[in-house]
């Protein structure tokens, strides 16, 4: 039950049938025809299932060990990391001038799903590096890019992000790490950072830390923060490695999951760093990449649920227990397979309809990021910025729920580490926390994104939903089972947004008390829209006489489940939101 | 954040203000006045917080080790177990003739909550023994009772329950373990049992296994199953220990949580056993104790959430991060405590309102069991049998959710094992699975309990809710905020029950596809009823000028939160149920 098969066909369905990427007019997308993306996805799927997935359980069991300052990753990780390097996977969607293949971000996203599904902890070594490269490309000087990007792109060196300190996570204004300017223009960095993923390990020659610290003169709070490049080994002018820098790993955390990734406490003891981007604009520099980083975590939400689902499905088909109430399904056997039981089916459908909906939502968001980057499309940028906290918060909550559901299918066997179901639950849990805990996503959505640019992005979202419904109203196959539920859900979302607008500044607690429900309400509408679009695409394929009719019929059945059984949650979220702040805030902090 | 304080005052509120146990007329309850139960609960709370809780984290980290057939429990468990023995805690609610104190089951339940909260894994050694004693008392011969009960009551010996085999859990008809009758009236038991909690350990002189096995002549499926007593060491006629029996532990499972409890694979290799109860009536014998066993697991649901909540609350009051949107709450400090933030407050209120509601529901159910046992009240027996699957399924799902919520409060620190939040999540997870996975509880509720005795128990439940609403309708403090929401939720439950009745035999999948939602719908109505009753009691105390007004005001505020923000979930569950079987079953098993 531990095998993983990359869902290439499902991915292809979203890319081509739903998003029609090759015809989208986004620069670089014209080359992404069906055969091309299939070749990329097949190759990535092979790496995922043959190289990464076999190390997932062993990496979890073994974990990372700190020994005299050196962190040993689990057995097999080095060899697998070499395979990633050789395949050039990290450079897939990075610029050709630094050795990458220059493909759109969307393609990198689709590949990342498979890698995360196969081995989430392992994939973080690459994922963090990819994120650090993004910051370098956006803010680095030409010399910094030339020095660091090619080495990191090839994974000879890896990267990290250093924000959190023991006493501050979300509230970075409390940061204590200091940067002292030196005469040569460099800085000496002193302080302690915690929860640094891939902070120290044995997979690469060098580790490039992107570190937020306070340099003198910037003022209080987050204003004084700057971003610094702090390599583990200093880099000589010719690019060769120099002296060991004064940065060290003080502890590898024992965590609930993602054991294969080394989560480090990092001590900076006057380590040499160089400023990247503008002085005192470190927060802005770090958060330039926020949409991508949060999309990456939202992707983990459903990507880790996928192998959990695959395992549970195989178990449900294989395990004989009880008889179908409507008559024996396996009369020759001692019992029927679990999958005959309606409650098992309900459980599986909840997982399946979430995962496929989330995949479509994630790909769509990634395509909007490409549209924004490659075409300078500000509307796309605004829309995706609005949806990112939804994608991150909703998908990681629901992905965890799906992994818990998958574990439940196994009964007692799911609680035993042997079957692997527990690991997916434990791994999935972190995605709800890091890269901005989901409560912070809800706050970002309601407190910031909803009102950004005068609220025009949320209006654009509503227009988009309305437009889709209007365009397809004449389609009897979509009307009652897809468009009507979507319209009702979208109305709930609008009513909630209206309530927040009315409460507004005079009662900010009312919006904040409903923020979490709003994030989920929004998430359901997004997945409802995705399922309506997928249903339209599936119908079109069936009407065109597609060879694999069963595949498209399954999409329709799965979509109908989502619309009928999951989307009605919007009414509950609205009801909660409309109760305002009182039920939540009435009990004083001291009365708890 | 790892300390635990027993919520004695909250327990007392339910026992006396809400249930008025001393005045209930149940035999044995008249002695349970306020001072008496306070003394018992204070003493139990002291054992829980001073002896059991300090071993919770270390027991989790260390786990149980199998070494040459012997299982070593974590450090400190032996000493703590001796303390339990000395305090006579296991006999609290067991008959005086065997050395117990003969107190009602309700008192044992209240004490069990504290022990589970403090150390769920540890408490299972006692809990399983208590369950095995129940089976002995119900079905054992006088000689069997005399031989085993006193030793088990004193915890000199412990007990286990052996049902599951590798290929069968829920479907016990597939059982392969055999019992061969011997000339002396004993049986030789041969087979393999798995997931046996406390199957082997070093805390007691002997372990008494209650084993289900098939004896010749009983027929197919569950009909041939009998229940046997199989001691680890045979017991001589004088009660002393004899030869080692042919039963051994083949493996200690590696689990997601409850590491401090040894979950064993047990091999019976022609082990000597004696029949308990009637031949071929083993299922009935085992399930006599089902209400208590499932109540015990439902109790674990909220009991493990309680310390998770206590830790999260302390963290939320202590951790400074960000500022309240309505103005600084801690202007002298660098930031405000987390608890000022509405979404943190929402999270805490969800936990708190669930835990307190579940405690009331559990105590009420325990009192119904006493009423049934001590008064032969068949209506009470029918009502509690109806509610038991709800109590088990709903409370363990919600308890897990609460533990996950608690973990979320800590941000990244919650994912690190050090803070303890992860352990509560990992421990809580098992309660959704064992003693009948929650899907099986839903099936038991909809397929069996709803229609039992012509459906009269569910009618009695509805009458009870209606009666409460009618009696209190004139109370303006209850009407809008408690009774109206309760009435709406109860109507949703009735509508769902009506739908199942209409679909009935002609479409059994329709009821089964909605069973899980129905269990949750029912659970919300039960907790809504409990909160309405608690609100009434709190109002009465306030009207009577109770000294601790804040305590009762907090109950009202917490209840209002539940009614306003949680109870409306009933409408969603009903909406899902009314979609019937089609969305769930449309996709054929092969099309997944």
pLDDT tens digits along B483-505: 999 999 999 999 999 999 999 77
Check if B220 contacts A (Cβ < 8 Å): no
The answer on A138 and A12 residing in a single domain is: yes
Nearest CA in chain B to A588: B554
Contact between chains at B430 and A415 (C-beta distance less than 8 A)? yes
- Say yes or no: A33 and A83 in one domain: yes
Whether residues B256 and A339 touch (CB distance < 8 A) is answered with no
Question: Which chain B residues are Cβ-neighbours of A425 within 8 angstroms?
Answer: 256, 429
Closest CB to B164 among A254, A412, A550: A412
| Residues B175/B268, Cβ–Cβ less than 8 Å | no
> Between the CA of residue A46 and those of A5, A43, A185, B493, B578, what are the distances in Å?
8, 5, 47, 50, 43
Would residue B297 count as lying in a domain? no
User: Could you tell me if residue A130 is inside a domain?
Assistant: yes
Q: Are residues B16 and B55 in the same domain?
A: yes
CB of B333 within 8 Å of any CB in chain A? no
pLDDT of residue B1: 52
Residue B220 pLDDT: 87
B584 near A CB under 8 A? yes
- Is residue A43 domain-shared with residue A132, that is, in the same domain? yes
Contact B585 A345 (CB under 8 A): yes
- Nearest Cα neighbor of A60 from A249, A295, A333, A256 is A256
Residue A115 counted as domain residue: yes
Nearest to B584 among A168, A508, A561 (CB): A561
Neighbours of A319 (CB within 10 A): 23
Which chain B residues touch A422 with a CB distance below 8 Å?
255-256
Pairing of strands B65-67, A206-214: unpaired
What 8-state DSSP symbol labels residue A165? B
Count other Cβ atoms within 10 Å, centred on residue B352: 22
Selected residues 386-425 of chain A with any CB under 8 Å from a CB in chain B = 400, 404, 407-408, 411-412, 414-418, 422, 425
According to the model, what pLDDT value does residue A194 have? 98
Residue in chain B closest to A557 (alpha carbons) equals B587
Within 8 A of A480 by CB-CB distance, chain B residues are none
* Contact status of B480 with chain A (Cβ, < 8 Å): no
Taking contacts as CB-CB distances below 8 angstroms, the residues of chain A near B194 are: 412
Q: How many helices (H) and strands (E) does chain B have?
A: 21, 11
Q: Which of A255, A280, A305 finishes a domain?
A: A280
Residue of B339, B425, B583 lying closest to A564 (CB–CB): B583
The residues of B that are catalytic are: 435
Provide the token pair at A143: 């010399």
A400 chain-B contacts, CB cut-off 8 A:
404
CB contact under 8 A, B589 and A317: yes
pLDDT band at B376 (very low <50, low <70, confident <90, very high): very high
Residue B556 C-alpha, separation from nearest chain A C-alpha, in angstroms: 9
- The beta-carbon neighbor of A516 closest among B254, B256, B346 is B346
- Domain hosting residue B489, numbered range: 450-585
Asked if B180 is an interface residue toward chain A (Cβ–Cβ < 8 A), one would say: no
% chain B with pLDDT above 90: 96
Of A321, A437, A569, the CB nearest to B572: A569
The answer to whether A538 faces chain B, any CB pair under 8 Å, is no
b/e map of B314-348 (b: 16 or more CB within 10 Å)? ebbeebbbbbbeeeeeeeeeebbbbbbbbbbbbbb
Please enumerate in sequence order all residues whose Cβ is within 8 A of that of A250, keeping only pairs 6 or more positions apart, or say none: A192, A264, A265, A266, A267
B13 and B137 housed in the same domain: yes
Residues A462 and A580 placed together within one structural domain of the fold: yes
For residues B519-557, one letter each, b for 16 or more C-beta atoms within 10 angstroms of the residue's C-beta and e for the rest, the string is bbbbbbbbbbbbbbbbbbbbbebbeeeeeeeebbbbbbb
Q: Provide the shortest C-alpha distance from residue B333 to chain A (in Å).
A: 11
Together in a domain, A122 and A244: no
Cβ <8 Å between A589 and B337: yes
- Partner A contacted by B149 (CB < 8 A): no
Which pLDDT band, with edges at 50, 70 and 90, does B288 fall under?
confident
The gap between the terminal CA atoms of chain B, to the nearest Å, is 45
> Inter-chain contact A343–B170, Cβ cutoff 8 Å?
no
Q: Which of A416, A572, A576 sits opposite B253 (nearest CB)?
A: A416
> In A88-119, which ranges are continuous DSSP H helix?
105-118
Whether chain B has a CB inside 8 Å of the CB on A579: the answer is yes
The dihedral built from the CA positions of residue A587, A591, B1 and B3, taken in this order, carries a sign that is: negative
Work out how many domains chain A is built from and give that number: 3
**Do B275 and B201 reside in the same domain of the chain?**
yes
pLDDT per position as a tens digit, B357-370: 999 999 999 999 99
Q: What angle do CA A245, A179, A208 make, to 5 degrees?
A: 40
| Helices of type H across A319-420 | 342-375, 378-409
- Cβ contacts of B560 on chain A, cutoff 8 Å: 582-583, 586
Same domain membership, residue A161 and residue A130: no
Q: How far is CA A194 from the centre of its chain?
A: 21
SS3 A211: strand
Same domain for B53 and B179: no
Length of chain B: 592
Cβ atoms of B93 and B153 within 8 Å: the answer is: no
Mutant choice from B171, B221, B264 vs A, greatest count of A C-beta within 10 A:
B171
Chain A contact present for B482, CB below 8 A = no
Residue of chain A minimizing CA distance to B422? A256
Subunit contact A565:B586, Cβ cutoff 8 A: no
Mutate to test the interface with B, among A5, A518, A565 (most CBs of B within 10 A): A565
Domain end (from A143, A173, A200): A143
Q: Is the residue at A444 inside a domain?
A: no
Q: Which residue of A has its CA nearest to B339?
A: A589
Sorted by sequence, the CB contacts under 8 Å of residue B38 that are 6+ apart come out as B8, B12
For chain A, how far is it from start to end, CA to CA, in angstroms?
Answer: 45
pLDDT tens series, chain A, 592 aa: 578 999 999 999 999 999 999 999 999 999 999 999 999 999 999 999 999 999 999 999 999 999 999 999 999 999 999 999 999 999 999 999 999 999 999 999 999 999 999 999 999 999 999 999 999 999 999 999 999 999 999 999 999 999 999 999 889 999 999 999 999 999 999 999 999 999 999 999 999 999 999 999 988 888 889 999 999 999 999 999 999 999 999 999 999 999 999 999 999 999 999 999 999 999 988 888 889 999 999 999 999 999 999 999 999 999 999 999 999 999 999 999 999 999 999 999 999 999 999 999 999 999 999 999 999 999 999 999 999 999 999 999 999 999 999 999 999 999 999 999 999 999 999 999 999 999 999 999 999 999 999 999 999 999 999 999 999 999 999 999 999 999 999 999 999 999 999 997 789 999 999 999 999 999 999 999 999 999 999 999 999 999 999 999 999 999 999 999 999 999 999 999 999 999 999 999 999 9
Whether residue B202 contacts residue B237, with contact meaning beta carbons closer than 8 Å, is answered with no
Residue A235 sits in a domain whose CATH number is 2.40.110.20
Whether the Cβ atoms of residue B285 and residue B275 lie closer than 8 Å to each other = no
Rounded to a whole number of angstroms, the distance from the CA of B141 to the nearest CA of chain A is 33
The phi, psi pair for B225, rounded to 5°, reads -85, 135
If asked whether residues B106 and B209 sit together in one domain, one would say no
Which residues does residue A556 pair with via DSSP β-bridges, in sequence order? Answer: none
- Per CB-CB distance under 8 Å, the chain B contacts of A320 are 167, 171, 174
Q: Model-level pTM? A: 0.98
Cβ contact B227:B211 at 8 Å: yes
DSSP A471: H
Q: Are A557 and B339 a contacting pair at CB < 8 A?
A: no
User: Taking a C-beta distance cutoff of 8 angstroms, is the pair A404, A396 a contact?
Assistant: no
Chosen domain end from B119, B143, B167: B143
Rounded CA gap, A271 and A250, in Å?
A: 15
Residue A126 and residue A87 share a domain: yes
**Is residue B261 situated within a structural domain?**
yes
Contact A568 B576 (CB under 8 A): yes
CATH number at residue A54: 1.10.540.10
Residue B267 and residue B188 in contact, taking contact as beta carbons nearer than 8 Å: no
Q: How crowded is residue A378: how many other Cβ atoms within 10 Å of its Cβ? A: 11
At residue B284 the predicted structure's pLDDT band, cuts being 50, 70 and 90, is confident
User: Is residue B424 in some structural domain?
Assistant: no
Measure in Å the smallest separation between the Cα of B314 and chain A Cα atoms. 10
Q: Which residues of A touch B420 (CB under 8 A)?
A: none
- Check residue A303 and give its pLDDT: 98
Chain B residue numbers touching A417 (CB-CB < 8 A): 254-256
How many residues are recorded in chain A? Answer: 592
B463 assigned to some structural domain: yes
Does residue A151 form part of some domain? no
Nearest-Cα residue of chain B relative to residue A441: B343
Interface of A with B in 492-511 (CB under 8 A): 508-509
Measured between alpha carbons, how far is A88 from A108 in angstroms, rounded to an integer? 12
- Residue recorded with tokens 């998958």: A406
pLDDT at A431: 98
A&B contacts, CB < 8 Å: 261
């Amino acid at each position: 039950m531990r095998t993983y098969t990359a869902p290439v066909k499902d991915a292809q369905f979203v890319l081509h049938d739903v998003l029609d990427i090759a015809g989208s007019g986004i620069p670089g997308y014209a080359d992404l025809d069906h055969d091309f993306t299939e070749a990329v996805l097949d190759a990535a799927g092979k790496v995922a299932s043959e190289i990464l997935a076999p190390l997932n359980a062993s990496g979890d069991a073994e974990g990372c060990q700190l020994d005299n300052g050196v962190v040993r990753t689990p057995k097999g990780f080095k060899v697998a990391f070499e395979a990633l390097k050789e395949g050039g996977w990290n450079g897939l969607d990075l610029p050709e001038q630094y050795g990458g293949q220059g493909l759109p971000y969307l393609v990198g996203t689709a590949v990342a799903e498979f890698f995360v599904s196969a081995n989430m902890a392992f994939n973080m070594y690459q994922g963090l590096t990819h994120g650090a490269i993004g910051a370098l490309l956006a803010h680095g000087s030409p010399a910094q890019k030339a020095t660091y990007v090619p080495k990191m792109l090839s994974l000879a060196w890896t990267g990290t992000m250093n924000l959190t300190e023991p006493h501050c996570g979300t509230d970075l204004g409390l940061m204590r790490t200091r940067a002292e300017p030196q005469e040569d223009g460099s800085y000496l960095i002193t302080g302690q950072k915690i929860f640094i993923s891939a902070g120290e390990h044995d997979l690469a020659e060098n580790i490039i830390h992107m570190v937020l610290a306070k340099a003198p003169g910037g003022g209080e709070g987050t204003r004084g923060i700057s971003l610094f490049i702090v390599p583990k080994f200093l880099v000589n002018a010719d690019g060769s490695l120099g002296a060991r820098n004064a940065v060290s790993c003080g502890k590898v955390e024992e965590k609930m999951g993602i054991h294969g990734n080394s989560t480090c406490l990092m001590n900076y003891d006057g380590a040499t760093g160089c400023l990247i981007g503008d002085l005192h604009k470190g927060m802005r520099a770090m958060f330039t990449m926020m949409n991508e980083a949060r999309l990456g975590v939202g992707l983990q939400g459903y990507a880790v649920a996928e192998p959990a689902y695959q395992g549970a499905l195989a178990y449900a088909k294989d395990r004989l227990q009880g008889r179908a109430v409507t008559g024996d399904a396996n009369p020759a056997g001692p019992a029927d397979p679990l999958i005959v039981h309606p409650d098992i089916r309900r459980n599986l459908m909840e997982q399946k309809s979430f995962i496929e909906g989330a995949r479509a939502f994630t790909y769509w968001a990634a395509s909007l990021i490409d549209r924004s980057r490659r075409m300078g499309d500000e509307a796309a940028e605004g829309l995706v910025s609005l949806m990112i906290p939804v994608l991150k918060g909703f998908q990681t909550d629901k992905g965890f729920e799906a992994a818990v559901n998958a574990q439940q299918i196994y009964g007692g066997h799911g609680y035993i580490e042997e079957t692997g179901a527990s690991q997916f639950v434990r791994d999935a849990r972190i995605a709800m926390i890091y890269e901005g805990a989901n409560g912070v996503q809800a706050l970002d959505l309601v407190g910031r994104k909803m009102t950004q640019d005068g609220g025009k992005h949320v209006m654009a979202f509503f227009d988009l939903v309305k437009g889709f419904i209007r365009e397809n109203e004449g389609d009897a196959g979509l009307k009652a089972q897809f468009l009507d539920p979507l319209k009702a859900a979208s109305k709930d979302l609008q009513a909630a947004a209206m309530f927040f607008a009315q409460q507004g500044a005079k009662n900010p607690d009312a919006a904040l008390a409903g923020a979490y429900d709003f994030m989920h309400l929004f998430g359901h509408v997004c997945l409802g829209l995705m399922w309506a679009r997928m249903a339209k695409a599936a119908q079109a394929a069936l009407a065109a006489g597609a060879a694999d009719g069963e595949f498209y019929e399954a999409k329709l059945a799965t979509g109908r489940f989502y619309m009928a059984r999951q989307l009605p949650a919007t009414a509950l979220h609205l009801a909660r939101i409309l109760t305002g702040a009182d039920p939540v805030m009435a009990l004083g902090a001291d009365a708890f």
